[in-house]
Amino acid sequence: MQPLQTTTQAVDTAFYVIFGISSIMLAGIAIAMVWFVWRYNRKRQPVPLSQKDHNLWLEITWTVIPTLLVMLMFWYGWEGYLSLRRIPDDAMHIKASARMWSWLFTYDNGKSADKLYVPVGQPVKIELVAEDVLHSFYVPAFRVKRDTVPGMTNWVWFTAEKPGSYDLFCAEYCGVGHSAMVTTVEALPAAEFQAWLNAAAGTAADPVARGAELAQQQGCLGCHSTDGSRRVGPTFKGLFSQSREVVRAGREVTVTADEAYLIRAIREPTAEIVEDYPPAMPPYGQLSDADLQALIAWLETLK
């Protein structure tokens, strides 16, 4: 089934219809009220002139017109909702994984990225998966927002009509790094998108390059800076072989950030917590040993 309109058109139409009717009602009611206050002020008209207590046609009018207006608002809301929930047949499938505190997008050919690349003019169906807690996939430009719920698969669809970069937020408070859980939708012209999609990825041969790629993909950079600035977690800059104060099993100890320490910090992040930082990092047990080595090789270069 083909939708009649894009998600942006669906939401905007309903919004402007409701906003327009509400504005006219607000102005009409306020003007009538002020006019009545002035016209029927006791000083101006101390004695009521009419004893009429009802008017059938007036009552029918003020019942029928608002009923029609409310039904009109319902109609646009319902049509808009159906458009949001009816996936076009030619929609391209992309999986969005939400985890504390980054997004990972996986394409059907196995390619993955930390930004959501989409082709202009083609509908995309985003399958929403939560790996840990509740998050919410929110792209204001396409008027879509839907929760990602652990154990449940949700989805949204949208079409990017113009090339560009659009904000993508997590819209469900999901812990200390929530505000860092932002990325972008990159809408590319169809040919450029195909070229990007078919370019090999995740396979940089050089370990340092592979490490940098992993840091992006795995969402490390959502919480750790590489320029020395403080984020949810400590910076990566100058980390390797530095000595640092950590709290291990409730006791303060000084450790050297060598390879063994970094492996522990990635695999079992809450076992040793760097002083002054929250025990916020999820464990990254799924990384292969080769990937771990690549990440560490890359960390070593961040002097």
Q: Which residue ranges make up the site for Cu ion (CB under 5 A)?
A: 135, 170, 174, 181
- Do the Cβ atoms of 82 and 114 come closer than 8 Å? no
Nearer to Cu ion, 132 or 259 (CB): 132
CB atoms within 10 A of CB 130: 24
Nearer to Cu ion, 156 or 174 (CB): 174
CA distances from 236 to 87, 241, 299 (A): 42, 11, 7
Nearer to Cu ion, 10 or 174 (CB): 174
Nearer to Cu ion, 105 or 298 (CB): 105
DSSP summary character for residue 152: B
Question: Residue 150 is encoded by which pair of tokens?
Answer: 């652990």
Give the amino acid at 182: V
**In the complex, least distance from residue 55 CB atom to Cu ion, rounded to whole angstroms:** 57
**In the complex, least distance from residue 98 CB atom to Cu ion, rounded to whole angstroms:** 6
Q: How many residues does the chain have?
A: 303
**In the complex, least distance from residue 274 CB atom to Cu ion, rounded to whole angstroms:** 23
Nearest to 265 by CA among 252, 250, 248: 248
**In the complex, least distance from residue 170 CB atom to Cu ion, rounded to whole angstroms:** 3
All residues at 6 or more sequence positions from 212 whose CB lies less than 8 Å from its CB, including other chains? 204, 298
**In the complex, least distance from residue 102 CB atom to Cu ion, rounded to whole angstroms:** 9
Nearest to 161 by CA among 119, 116, 121, 118: 121
**In the complex, least distance from residue 229 CB atom to Cu ion, rounded to whole angstroms:** 21
Question: Residue 178 is encoded by which pair of tokens?
Answer: 């929530």
Question: Residue 65 is encoded by which pair of tokens?
Answer: 């017109």
State residue 199 phi and psi, 5-degree precision. Answer: -65, 135
Nearer to Cu ion, 135 or 224 (CB): 135
Nearer to Cu ion, 181 or 299 (CB): 181
